């Protein structure tokens, strides 16, 4: 089931992917919009989904090149005796996952994925990577056996469309409150990236488009591993100096991982200076859900669990298995330490040992 309390958190790993459609000519119908996020995902994605829907709905209504109606796939559930889709379509507010923020009236909630996607030229996926299989099954997509495969790759290969990726330091409730923030769109086809920039940008949601799409997407995944390490340090009350070391060393491992596993060999270090890189990393390490969970793990082990381990983030396991497959575990000690603490029963204090003996200090 779904947790009761919404977590107005950061974009999850590999979230969201944007399906780009080429702009239509003036004599063709305006592109229709489908807005997709599944009911199996955690509430953070629901709140982020609704926050982005506010932007898209407002811009689609104001800009002539886009169709006015935005269809948003919503997991159907009952809130105070009413269907959530009915509440959204009548009261224009996601009262459960983003209360207090009105949605534009042209955002229409639909309970079926197929209905949201049908006829749409532009699809915006707000899907945490660990739940992509359920979504892919419903849309005819499956994940291959290859080691490293990005969500955008799966969508691109199975649906035969271009995919751009949006990542950044974007906390959902702050986006909804229209507090200033930046974000990054990575696109292999610049025209499509600029199309999504037009659809999504506002005076307080500023977008940079880069052609390093894979790196943008990897940043969104890898920063969560680093945030878990930062959370462990918070749980041990290590202080800000230690957390700064985690962020710096974690960023270096993110860059090294991206360069090693880039499919086309083009990774720009400048991409890590965009919002998708260092900005998102800092925000996640200081306020993100993964950091808070890791801090709680350290405290709960001492107070409640008698040393038993809670399961860590799926991203750390996926990355560790890839590194082990390639014989590169020792080159990524911070990523490895997070995995081993979360999944192999290593003590949380292993994070400090990792920092002390990190190859950067040798």
Which three-class secondary structure state does DSSP give residue 338? helix
Q: Give the DSSP H/E element, type plus range, for residue 205.
A: strand 205-210
Q: What CATH number belongs to 215-361? A: 1.10.1040.10
Residue 123: CB partners within 8 Å, gap ≥ 6?
Answer: 18, 19, 34, 35, 36, 117
Helices (H) and strands (E) in the chain, counts: 14, 10
Mean pLDDT by 10 residues, the chain (362 residues): 31 32 39 41 64 95 92 91 97 94 95 86 76 57 56 80 93 94 96 96 98 93 92 92 98 95 82 97 84 66 44 75 93 96 91 94 79
pLDDT at residue 318, rounded to an integer: 87
Backbone angles phi, psi at 292, to 5 degrees: -65, -40
pTM given for the model = 0.82
Chosen CATH of 17-211 out of 3.20.20.30, 3.30.540.10, 3.40.50.720, 3.40.50.2300: 3.40.50.720
Give the residues across from 78 on adjacent strands: 83
> Could you identify the residue written with the tokens 């990054």?
184
Question: How far lies 287's CA from each of 68, 224, 298, 305, in Å?
Answer: 35, 11, 17, 24
Q: Are 122 and 36 in contact (CB under 8 A)?
A: no
Binding site per annotation, positions for NAD(+): 75, 131, 172, 289, 309, 311
Query: Maximum CA pair distance of the chain?
Result: 68
223 classed as catalytic: yes
Given the residues 71, 96, 197, 223, the one annotated as active site: 223
Q: How far does the chain reach from its first CA to its final CA, in angstroms?
A: 48
Q: Give me the DSSP letters along 121-140.
A: SEEEE---GGGHHHHHHHTT
Phi and psi, residue 111, nearest 5°: -85, -10
**Strand 17-19 and strand 78-79: pairing?**
unpaired
pLDDT of residue 261: 86
Sketch the domain layout of the chain as residue ranges: 17-211, 215-361
306: left (phi over 0), alpha (psi -120 to 50) or beta: left
What 8-state DSSP symbol labels residue 101?
-
CA 53, CA 56: separation in Å to the nearest integer?
5
């Amino acid at each position: 089931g779904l947790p009761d309390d919404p977590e107005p958190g950061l974009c999850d790993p590999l979230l969201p992917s944007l399906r780009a459609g080429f702009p239509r000519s003036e004599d063709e119908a305006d592109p229709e919009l489908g807005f997709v996020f599944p009911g199996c995902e955690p509430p953070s994605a629901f709140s982020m989904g609704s926050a982005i829907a506010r932007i898209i709905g407002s811009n689609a209504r104001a800009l002539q090149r886009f169709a006015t109606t935005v269809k948003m796939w919503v997991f159907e559930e009952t809130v105070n005796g009413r269907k959530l889709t009915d509440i959204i379509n009548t009261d224009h507010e996601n009262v459960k996952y983003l209360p207090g923020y009105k949605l534009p009236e042209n955002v229409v909630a639909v309970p079926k994925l197929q209905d949201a996607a049908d006829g749409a030229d532009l699809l915006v996926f707000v899907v945490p990577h660990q739940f992509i299989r359920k979504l892919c099954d419903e849309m005819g997509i499956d994940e291959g056996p290859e080691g490293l495969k990005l969500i955008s790759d799966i969508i691109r290969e199975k649906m035969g469309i271009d995919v751009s990726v949006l990542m950044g330091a974007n906390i959902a409730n702050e986006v909804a409150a229209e507090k200033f923030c930046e974000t990054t769109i990575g696109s292999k086809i610049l025209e499509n990236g600029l199309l999504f920039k037009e659809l999504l940008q506002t005076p307080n949601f500023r977008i940079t488009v880069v052609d390093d799409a894979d790196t943008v997407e990897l940043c969104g995944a890898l920063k969560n591993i680093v945030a878990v390490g930062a959370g462990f340090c918070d749980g041990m009350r290590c202080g800000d100096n230690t957390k700064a070391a985690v962020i710096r060393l974690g960023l270096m491992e993110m860059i090294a991982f991206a360069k090693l596993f880039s499919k086309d060999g083009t990774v720009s270090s400048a991409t890590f200076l965009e919002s998708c890189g260092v900005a998102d990393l800092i925000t996640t390490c200081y306020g993100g859900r993964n950091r808070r969970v890791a801090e709680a793990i350290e405290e709960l082990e001492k107070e409640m669990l008698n040393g038993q381990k809670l399961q860590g983030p799926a991203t750390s396991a996926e990355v560790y298995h890839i590194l082990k497959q390639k014989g590169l575990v020792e080159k990524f000690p911070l990523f490895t330490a997070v995995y081993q603490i979360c999944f192999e029963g290593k003590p949380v204090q292993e994070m400090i040992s990792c920092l002390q003996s990190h190859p950067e200090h040798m």
